[in-house]
Chain A
């Protein structure tokens, strides 16, 4: 499950930010996962919990799925991830590498492969809440 690799990157980055910002006690970590990457929510959560180091023992993970949006660079149309129209193989390829959507998706209006993924691509850390040192 490559959810684990992504979870590992989240933990590592949180630790770095916590250190940089001088946060003493982390209470909440809000993570967004883009719909198109179709991460297995439970696997991802479990990986985060298992990988959680003592520095983050009081932290709760809030994981939210963000809708994936595309915008055509040619005609300007905006549209959402057409999950139901895609076969299992294609969904799996996009799960591993969202950019290959450029191989399989086209603008529904003008047919262009030149579109932008404007939201909900992969995994990102939305916010970290806690108590700052000296704060």
Chain B
């Protein structure tokens, strides 16, 4: 009994330039917001960009993008719909927003299924919105995807640092490239930057807490005008360089 799907995964992302996994040890640090915003900014600059929401049990990028009712086209595979200039994949197309509890094996099966049938075509960037931690999704991205690079999101909290440290430790051990760490939702002074420098990871910058974000979720044009987006844009050189 052999699962044939694995053998074509490489083919499906062959024409993808860079795969960026937006990741963190913690939830609620802004991964989905940053992944979506960066993808939109890249697309706006003319890079052909895909966004793949891998938080199958708690997907949220569709809310950030203000997704309207749509489903992928079926050709000789599945063609992701273009949403605000992004080739966009989310489990929401199929779960219809219902609670979809998945255990590890189910996550892997769903991930392998979507990877093996989704035709991303040529892309400069495929941005992955990761669930928190070093569980199923992170392990599967490392196991199944060609050369992912991890962009790590944290907050000034020592609690975030504690979990991100473990993510960094694992990526290092497995020799997976780390783009660097972004400190999000900064409000006052913090010396988290020093802590990351001690770990020898590149500190890419800080993004302040921006109250305008919440009221502009779902409205992409306005979201891109927020301080959050302006600061996120400064990270681009680390992705494109």
Contact = CB atoms under 8 A, between A and B. Distances in A.
B179 to A, nearest CB: 30
B100 A10 contact: no
Contact of B4 (A12, A98, A100, A121): A12
A31 B99 CA distance: 32
Contact of A126 (B1, B56, B72, B117): B1
Given A12-B7, A96-B78, A114-B101, A5 B106 contact: no
A17 interface: yes
Contacts of A103: 94-96, 98-100
Nearest to B9: A9
Nearest to B103: A114
B112 to A, nearest CB: 9
Given A100-B100, A121-B109, A125-B4, A6 B95 contact: no
Interface residues of B, number: 37
Interface string A31-61: 0000000000000000000000000000000
Task: Give the interface size bracket for A toward B.
Answer: 20 to 34
Interface string A97-135: 111101110000000011011000111111000000000
A9 B77 contact: no
Interface string B1-25: 1111111100100000000000000
A10 B1 CA distance: 12
A116 B76 CA distance: 29
Contacts of A17: 2
B74 interface: yes
B183 interface: no
B106 A9 contact: no
A2 B74 contact: yes
A2 B2 contact: no
B173 interface: no
Nearest to B117: A5
Contacts of A98: 109, 113
Interface string B82-113: 00000000010111101111110111011001
A113 B96 CA distance: 16
A41 B157 CA distance: 55
A34 to B, nearest CB: 11
Listed residue (B2, B98, B102, B114) with the most chain A CB atoms within 10 angstroms of its CB: B2
A89 B69 CA distance: 13
A6 B9 CA distance: 11
A90 to B, nearest CB: 9
Given A1-B74, A4-B77, A93-B94, A99 B7 contact: no
A96 B113 CA distance: 8
Nearest to B5: A9
Given A5-B77, A102-B100, A97 B8 contact: no
Residue with the greatest number of chain B CB neighbours at <10 A, chosen from A2, A116, A123, A125 = A2
A124 B3 contact: yes
B53 interface: no
25 contacts: A4-B77, A5-B78, A6-B5, A6-B116, A6-B117, A9-B5, A9-B8, A13-B2, A16-B7, A89-B96, A93-B94, A97-B94, A97-B113, A99-B56, A99-B106, A99-B110, A100-B91, A100-B110, A104-B98, A113-B101, A114-B101, A116-B105, A123-B5, A124-B4, A125-B4
